[in-house]
């Protein structure tokens, strides 16, 4: 097995063992069998270490409201008091999140993801 691939597997194992401590990994690989195999290995390791699987993929064009949650207008009108709708990130607790093409994400979106991660880590 090539040394480079072993290093990639070690990174996957570290992320699966302590995802909050490492905070993430940037994968520079084109879509294809090598990246897919690494993602499968990461998911298997995560499952083995008690993380919730499957990995959650966040679409790059997601709105702030869908990412972070927001006011549910219809439910608020019906109930007469504010009702909040959770965003995608709130469903990712104890889960690994994939943000494809994160480098193309607008600054606000990446800031929101980092702020949410920091908030969850300290809560």
106 versus 35: the higher-pLDDT residue is 35
Task: Supply the pLDDT for residue 108.
Answer: 60
Count the Cβ atoms, other than its own, within 10 Å of residue 69: 17
Alpha helix (H) ranges present in the chain?
3-17, 19-22, 33-48, 64-68, 73-79, 107-122
DSSP code of residue 80 = S
The tokens for 94 are: 């104890």
Share of residues in the chain with pLDDT > 90 (%): 29
Once rounded to an integer, what is the mean pLDDT over residues 2-31?
Answer: 86
In the predicted structure, residue 118 carries a pLDDT above the cut 80: no
pLDDT tens digits for range 57-104 = 888 778 888 888 899 999 999 999 999 999 888 887 777 888 777 666
- pTM, two decimals, is 0.66
**Strand 52-57 to 95-98 pairing:** parallel
Query: CA 48: distance to chain centroid?
Result: 18
């Amino acid at each position: 097995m090539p040394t480079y691939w072993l290093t990639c597997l070690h990174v996957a194992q570290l992320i699966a063992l302590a995802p909050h401590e490492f905070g993430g990994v940037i994968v520079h690989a084109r879509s294809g069998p090598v990246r897919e195999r690494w993602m499968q290995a990461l998911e298997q390791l995560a499952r083995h270490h008690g993380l919730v699987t499957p990995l959650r993929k966040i679409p790059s064009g997601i709105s702030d409201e869908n990412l972070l949650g927001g006011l549910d207008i219809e439910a608020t009108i019906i109930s007469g008091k504010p009702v909040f709708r959770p965003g995608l990130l709130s469903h990712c607790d104890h889960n690994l999140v994939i943000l494809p093409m994160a480098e193309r994400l607008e600054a606000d979106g990446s800031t929101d993801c980092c702020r949410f991660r920091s908030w969850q880590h300290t809560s």
